[in-house]
Amino acid sequence: MVQTWILLTLIAGLGSVGFNTQNRKTLKDGEDSTVYAWLFEISRATIFALLIYFDRFFIFSWANLGVLLALGMTELVGVYFYMKMHAYTELSVSSIISRFRVILIPLAAFIFLGERLTNTQYLGVLAIFVGCLVVAGNGKIRGTRGFWYALAFVFVSVISNILIKMSTAFASNSVVAMAFSLPSAILIPLIMKSTFVRFRISIPHILRPTIGATLLNVVTMYALVAAYRLAPVSLVNSMFQSITTLSVVVGIFFLQENDHKTLKLVGAALTTIGIITLI
């Protein structure tokens, strides 16, 4: 029988592929990525606020509240980089660069959570690193704004994943997800320029795709947080990243991202082999 955490991670991974594809389709033609990020966050926060009624659990302490607040602030920074990444780089490129998380999360999990990998798994990390370098080594790709947004998102995402794992010890899935989204939903309109003008111009164009993307992400996040409860964060994240590598194929064959196609496929193959070794 398939272990529950594997099934949950599979659901989360496939949901993430759909989420990433929808975001790239919406943002590649110049839509306002900051407005899109806010509309996504407020939609996700609303859904999880409703779900808390059925899934409410939180052990209150100032330390636990601090972890949830830190989680929300990492999302405020991370969602900005994430949406900029999709606005400025191809899905088939960002999907490979974001695999750097598979290298950094086990390191962070070892430092902060005491989780260790085997020697074979460390070889998998090396394969992932080489696969990322295959793509990052291309000067034309490395010189794009999207590449650096993707790299910035990776580092913020590592912190978020560790905080999510920590949060599962004292809060339900819905509480964790709500804490993840709420600061961005509140603060983005306060810190962006010409807020109401940009909302008025952009929201009618992006409302429908944002709702679709949000529903995909709600499934992804709920399943991923549930999987983190059942297995080590390094193991769950490695399998999750191996599934989301499908975004490279989607980008090339469905979004017609044909530049450097061979390079992307080689990079994706190397990172996938490395990730499978980690599982």
pLDDT of residue 170: 94
Of 1, 30, 25, 8, the residue nearest 173 (C-alpha):
8
Mean pLDDT (the chain, rounded): 83
Provide, rounded to the nearest whole percent, the portion of the chain with pLDDT above 70. Answer: 81
Higher pLDDT: 180 or 257? It is: 180
Higher pLDDT: 96 or 161? It is: 161
pLDDT of residue 256: 74
How far is the C-alpha of 97 from the C-alpha of 32, rounded, in Å? 23
pLDDT of residue 117: 65
Point out the least confidently predicted range of 12-26, 90-104, 159-173, 231-245.
90-104
Of 269, 251, 46, 264, the residue nearest 138 (C-alpha):
264
Q: What Å distances lie between residue 272 and 126, 129, 132, 188, CA to CA?
A: 12, 11, 11, 35
Q: What contacts 24+ positions apart, CB below 8 Å, involve 255-258? A: 255/21, 255/24, 255/25, 255/28, 255/90, 255/91, 255/92, 257/90, 257/91, 257/92, 257/93
Q: In the structure, what pLDDT confidence band is assigned to residue 89 with cuts at 50, 70 and 90?
A: confident
How far is the C-alpha of 125 from the C-alpha of 106, rounded, in Å? 9
Does residue 155 surpass a pLDDT of 90? no
How far is the C-alpha of 215 from the C-alpha of 208, rounded, in Å? 11
Higher pLDDT: 182 or 98? It is: 182
Of 258, 183, 189, 251, the residue nearest 23 (C-alpha):
251
Does residue 39 surpass a pLDDT of 90? yes
Average pLDDT value for residue range 11-25: 90
Name residue 58's beta-bridge partners. Answer: 171
**pLDDT tens, residue by residue, 251-262:** 777 777 767 667
Q: In the structure, what pLDDT confidence band is assigned to residue 246 with cuts at 50, 70 and 90?
A: confident
pLDDT of residue 8: 93
Does residue 23 surpass a pLDDT of 80? yes
Of 163, 182, 169, 170, the residue nearest 70 (C-alpha):
163
pLDDT of residue 190: 93
pLDDT of residue 255: 77
